[in-house]
Structure 1
């Protein structure tokens, strides 16, 4: 049995490391005095993700894209609300602290992507980068996997959307600008709250709200299509910032906005309740009650058509507020408004395509 820390580790989002739902052995909390220093930081460890394919496909009616690429499993940003946390259980690890400290990376992501694009049956469509975990999380600064993926996409003239809450995306600004000139790229910057203290607790290793707003402005000024993802909206905790986020991102040059209500699948329900009790015990009951009103009396509703938006009067009010505020800010709320160009797709210059084998020769 593995013992758990009972003190909140500094610089991390989750309060604990609960069992994976697939684990053969459980963990139990035990206060035996073994850990005397609650301020001792938890270190991040890296391992190789040996997946054979880097592009995943979906047919979900709730998702406006059919393919995605995530260079990393787990995310050091430590966002407590992240709906990707339960996926760490598939690895036999905890969706809690393991998710933000035991990370996996795909060193051959670029090579795998190029093989996918070169397959004779492949047909291009916008690729979502960072739909599960952030492609510009802190370890990207050292590993540069997202950077190599963008290089392949640019060479093949393949369209892509990036979702991130990191200012590190500006490192690749030159390539993003070049791709934008060919209508191959768009970026969504995620902003949950403008309250710096709340953001520090919710998203401990992500860029501050001010830096994310500056990132939107820098991308827009450079000519890269940029939008804001106001997600997740947590009623009773972050929703007060909804109108201000949209107004400020519109002023910064964003052209598109979308939003999602908080989702709490699997272990995330307990992790979120534990976090609320640790950081905002006076608001916990109200926040959980409002979420249940948006989720048919539960903390999560997995039904298609309801997962992202919720249902009931509170969810409808949040949706109306978002729509009106986005309209006032001049932001488009149609997820399909960014129409990237698939027609330019093809192998890099000087590299023959599969079809060239059948072309007539003089």
Structure 2
């Protein structure tokens, strides 16, 4: 399948992990499609409304610093080829390939559900993370504004929040985030994978330009909002040569620290990533996968707690050593950001909101 301009995945195969039925293709229709839509018809982004019963997801992973999260959307239009969330689309009998970045799900009930869950006496107050699975500021947030509505409720309740994004669209909510930061209730992580727009154009085709992300760091920091840069994932022989330059750039923009994860290729991400390499970097695809295997214990992916976020072996040690040295040179202290949890107040009930 030829790469489609503006999309990350070069394939859209059906996942076989759950023994789901194959989709039957109408060959006659495909033969005549160009007569109706034109030979260069592009896939459009579709959004389906989803009505979940709850909106706060809880986890006990020892590798993750947060225990609860909110995902306003399923799928992500940014189309990052390395996204570890791609396999989740297989649960919906959709492809982790192009379907993941074009057939999206929005949860407009999220604010209502969040208010109800925060009202429960059993709710445990700890930072809620947004952007841990799919980006809360992907392009469709412009119209749906589900992320903003959730932030408004968290601000009202004075509940701590941690946001991860690779979009400067977060600046549209600067008014809310500035107020929360004044009380020590919010921190932001901006992902800067590469500074090279040519690399970003295929690696994460619909995410914000790298320099716009750096500018977002600058504006957030200027507004007094704690911001960390995530140089993730680091892809050997593709982006690893930029480690020092990225850290120097984000430090100059006002980031308080930087973190990284070596590229992870769980489930269907691995074959999609291989196809992407073959399409865009055929000269080094074998080298890239060989190094990834060395980092991941001889496999495409290491799913084990303790090593999946760090990697192992000589290549992982080298990347880590370079990263630590660059962080130190940039003046980062490694001090962990702590958000306040003692200011929480349950949301007002429907009747009190009228007054």
TM-score by length of 1: 0.92
2:211 paired with 1:217: no
Deviations 1:141-167 (A, max 9, x none): 000000000000000000010000001
> Cα offset for 1:330?
1.7
Local SS of the residue matching 1:231: coil
Deviations 1:254-311 (A, max 9, x none): 0021110111000111000000001110010111111011011111010111111110
Distance 2:244 2:33 in 1: 44
Alignment match, 2:346: 347
2:4 paired with 1:9: yes
2:110 paired with 1:109: yes
> Cα offset for 1:212?
0.4
> Cα offset for 1:39?
3.6
Distance 2:46 2:183 in 1: 38
2:81 paired with 1:86: no
Structure 1 segments unaligned to the other structure (5+ residues): 1-5, 354-362
Distance 2:349 2:91 in 1: 42
Alignment match, 1:286: 287
Local SS of the residue matching 1:345: coil
Alignment match, 1:20: 15
Q: In the alignment, is the contact (CA less than 8 A) between 1:10 and 1:40 conserved in 2?
A: no
Q: Which moved more, 1:162-171 or 1:34-43?
A: 34-43
Distance 2:270 2:231 in 1: 20
Alignment match, 1:200: 201
After TM superposition, list the pairs within 5 Å mapping 1:61-140 onto structure 2. 61-140=62-141
Structure 2 segments unaligned to the other structure (5+ residues): none
Deviations 1:100-121 (A, max 9, x none): 0000011010111111111011
> Cα offset for 1:351?
8.4
> Cα offset for 1:240?
0.6
**Count, aligned residues:** 346
Distance 2:348 2:8 in 1: 46
Q: 4+ residue runs of structure 1 moved beyond 4 angstroms?
A: 27-38, 348-353
> Cα offset for 1:24?
2.7
Alignment match, 2:149: 148
> Cα offset for 1:27?
5.6
Q: Which moved more, 1:35-44 or 1:47-56?
A: 35-44
> Cα offset for 1:345?
0.3
Deviations 1:70-116 (A, max 9, x none): 10000000000000000111111110000000000110101111111
> Cα offset for 1:347?
2.6
> Cα offset for 1:20?
1.8
2:61 paired with 1:60: yes
Local SS of the residue matching 2:232: strand
